[in-house]
A and B are shown apart, each in its own frame.
Chain A
Amino acid sequence: MSTGLQPEPSDMARRLAEAEAVIEALLAGQIDAVVDPAHSTPLLLAKAQESLRQSEERYRHIVENTNEGIWLSDSTHTTAFMNRRMAQMLRCEEDMGVGRSPLTFLDEPTKLAFAHYPERPAPYQSDVEFRRTDGTRFWGHLDVVPMFESDGCYAGTLAMVRDISERRAAELALRQTTRDLVERTNVLEMQGALLKEQAAILDLPADAIIVRTLKNQVAFWSRGARGMYGWSSAEALGRRVEELIDADCPETFEEICAALFIAGHWEGEGSHRCKDGTHIDVASRWTVQRDGTGAPVRILSISHDISARRKSEIERARLAEELKRQTAVLRETEARTTYALSAARMGVWEIDPKTRLVTWSGTMPSLYGVTAAEAPRSSDEFLQLVHPDDRVMLQNALEAAVANRTELRIEFRAIWPDGTVHWYSGLAQVIYDEGGTPVRVLGVDTEISERKSLEAQFQQSQKMEAVGQLAGGVAHDFNNLMTVVLGYSEFVIETLGVSDPRRADLDEVVRAGQRATALTRQLLAFSRKQVLQPTNVDLNALVLGMEDMLARLIGEDIIVEHTLAPDLWAVRADVGQLEQVLMNLTVNARDAMPTGGRLSFHTSNVELEEPDAHSFGIGAGCYVLLAVADNGTGMTESVRQRLFEPFFTTKLPGKGTGLGLATVYGILKQTGGTVSVTSTPGAGTTFDVYLPCVVEGDPQALVPAAPERGGTSRGHETILIVEDEDGVRLLTRRILEQSGYRVFDASDAAHAEAVFAKHAKEIDLLLTDVVMPGISGAKLFARLQEQQPGLKVLYLSGYTQGAIVEQGPLGPGIELLQKPFTAAALNERVREVIEGPTPQPAGRE
């Protein structure tokens, strides 16, 4: 303001206040003019007008230069004025808004706020978003003051607008920041909670959490570490970890750190020592904490006590090992069981009574000669394997066992696919449920064919033994009686003329006596009660020596062939018995070829080893095989099985005794050999005779087979006869005396010794029974030989059940004459012995 006056500021203020009051009064109409006395003009008015102009000017200046938008509207909401600042804010010309409603610059929501403003004019303040003329928006703080006429009528509105966009943006930013902060706070709270949880987890008593420095010193020792190792946190902090734990770990701390710093983590297990000295197994995981540069600063380890787990693992491993061992044992046991079942020819089976389905163990198919694929699936199919004659019996037995709750024990036969019949023993147990219903039948089958065969053999053996004992008991006396019959018959025949009619009758007597004697001899042979005189025999020579005799026996329709090994070993056998064997086998072959055929004798050396030898019933070793084969009628299996059974014959009644092959069997068994038979009905039969060969180094020379015996049978020497059977003794004496010998006789050994004591020098030959009351003939000879070493001996034998048999065959060089004997045979043998070498001392005393 410039008035030309230079008043004092305080005075200036006062005067301005006075002026303003005058102006106010003028404006209010309270005064009309102010007169300046110097100019007689209404100075004050001019001044007032000037002042008013200046005031307007001042206010205009203020309005135009204020930083707030000023917007005047009339009572119709029509813009009357807006200052420059407002126009700037709206980005329009100042007069552009004049005549327009301010609402055009507001958004619709803001418009609503002013919709009823004229009706209720009142001061109003609000932050309002304005819409500029270019479409952009800005926030402004709106301060609305209603204006009224002097009469109180609403005159319009003065609105002052301050651009608050920046503040608003700041507020928004602040609000966003606040929201962000809230969110971050929430996150942090969540993280905090999580951390708390993690911390709680980390601080679980079960785990030991240890933070250590790079020098392995404890920086943190968790509650779990205390619980695990026994050291408190106070005790542990600052100390080196190895002082506290002394871990049994293959890697050193430095080695672990080296791996840890590279990989960022390390895991391992080991044994840690606790404060109390005990050790625990621990699984640890180490991680490394790094600073901002990535350099390691600390090591965090979490260790878990795995002692229980390790113990469990060890126990589990032990159990696994035990299970493995038991499994192996079980398998071995199973294998053994299977092997045992197989070896024992046993099998296990099961039948479901309801479905009749059958389950077989692995050994069952071979037991019945079928493959696993051919194994029966039902009891009906199984019955098809059973021998037709045994099916009903087996089925009834099984049903009875189920019905009566009894154990099933039965023997039955089955027929293999190859047609062979096999014996079985069945043992079964029925299993019932709680209601008493049979749920299954468990059984074991054992093939007992071999046992059955052995039983049959045993029965046959017993039968033979019984027959043999009986025959032996009879034979001794019987032979004595036959000796008498035949001896006296010879006496009579010798005295009868050739044309004497009684001679024919006597021939019948002799023939019948000889046949009866032969029967008895056969009986003794198969019962192995004969006295053998084994010598080293050339079997080839024996076979060839009997060729003529056998040829006469078999007739001309049968061709005889020989295939004899040139280097055949000698056999140890009784020549006479071998002749009997050959003759019986030849007769048997002849009878098998009624219309002729081919009979072959084959010899060879064989060495039998186990189990072949065992299967033949003889020991392993060297044998000579004599095979006697024919191409006759052959025989069935059932006949073959009974072939050597005494009194078994396929011949018509009266045509055979059934002792021929039994005799062969008995002789060979007594000799130490055996015989086996193979036969095919319609194709022929082969008897394989095995005879023990001579042991190398045996000093005995081979005895010529079928030695020729002959020469004069008369003599003059002195003979001592010792025989307890009067008839035989007297007959013998009579024969010998008739042949020119001088004879002493005695009925027992004591009497004989008495006679010998008197005539020892005179007696050349002792002719004695083998078995006598008191001492045996052999012992008697031994005693007498001591007195006269040059004494010779010839034994007479009927039945030899006594000492001679028990002590084995008579010794080498000992001569034996079987009872009954003929006069000719007696004279011939007496002559041979007298002219033969003196026997070695028996040494049997």
Chain B
Amino acid sequence: MDNTLDHKIRNLLAIVIGYARLMEEDMAADDRHRGDLQEILAAAVAAIGLLSAAEEP
């Protein structure tokens, strides 16, 4: 994938992950939203992994 686009998407995913982790840190252990938040984080991390895999020759 083009470096520019890759860079842009990575930045956006970084935003997703960043805010999601902030929320997770602030969230109580039994918060009912924790599961959803973890799904978000897992999906965003997987997306970054996807981009990295695409860069490999």
A interface residues (Cβ-Cβ under 8 A, vs B) = 467, 470-471, 473-474, 477-478, 481-482, 484-485, 488-489, 491-492, 495-496, 502, 505-506, 508-509, 511-513, 515-516, 519-520, 523, 646-647, 657-659, 727, 731
Contact = CB atoms under 8 A, between A and B. Distances in A.
A484 B45 CA distance: 12
Contact of A509 (B4, B8, B27, B40): B40
B32 A516 contact: no
B1 A471 contact: yes
The 7 closest A-B CB pairs, nearest first, are A512-B15, A484-B43, A516-B12, A488-B36, A481-B43, A505-B19, A481-B47
Given A477-B46, A492-B33, A495-B32, 17 more contacts: A473-B54, A478-B50, A478-B51, A484-B39, A485-B16, A488-B36, A491-B36, A495-B33, A505-B19, A509-B19, A512-B12, A513-B12, A516-B9, A519-B5, A519-B12, A657-B4, A657-B8
A505 B51 contact: no
A658 B4 contact: yes
Interface string B13-54: 101100110110011000011001101101110110011001
Given A488-B39, A488-B40, A508 B15 contact: yes
Max count, chain B CB within 10 A of own CB: residue among A474, A485, A511: A485
Contacts of B12: 512-513, 515-516, 519
Contact of B50 (A467, A481, A659): A481
A647 B32 CA distance: 42
A496 B4 CA distance: 35
Given A477-B50, A508-B15, A520-B9, A470 B43 contact: no
B11 to A, nearest CB: 8
B54 A481 contact: no
A474 B19 contact: no
B2 A492 contact: no
A520 to B, nearest CB: 7
Contact of A474 (B13, B32, B37, B51): B51
B37 A492 contact: yes
B49 to A, nearest CB: 9
Given A478-B47, A512-B13, A513-B12, A484 B40 contact: yes
A145 to B, nearest CB: 162
8 contacts: A484-B39, A495-B32, A496-B33, A502-B27, A520-B9, A523-B1, A657-B8, A731-B39
A474 B54 contact: yes
A519 B36 CA distance: 24
A508 B42 CA distance: 17
Contacts of A473: 54
Contact of B13 (A467, A516, A647): A516
A658 B19 CA distance: 27
B46 to A, nearest CB: 5
Contacts of B9: 516, 519-520
A647 B9 CA distance: 14
A491 B4 CA distance: 32
B36 A492 contact: yes
A659 B54 CA distance: 19
Contacts of A489: 36, 40
A647 B2 contact: yes
Contacts of B4: 647, 657-658
B13 to A, nearest CB: 6
A467 B33 contact: no
Nearest to B27: A502
Nearest to B3: A647
A502 B15 CA distance: 14
A128 to B, nearest CB: 149
B5 A481 contact: no
A657 B50 contact: no
Given A488-B39, A502-B26, A481 B44 contact: yes
Contacts of A731: 39
A727 B15 contact: no
Nearest to B38: A488
A647 B8 CA distance: 12
Given A505-B23, A509-B20, A513-B12, A482 B33 contact: no
A489 B40 CA distance: 7
Nearest to A502: B23
Contacts of B40: 484-485, 488-489, 492, 509
Nearest to B26: A502
A647 B43 CA distance: 26
A97 to B, nearest CB: 160
Contacts of B47: 478, 481-482, 485, 516
Contacts of B51: 474, 478
Max count, chain A CB within 10 A of own CB: residue among B20, B27, B42, B47: B47
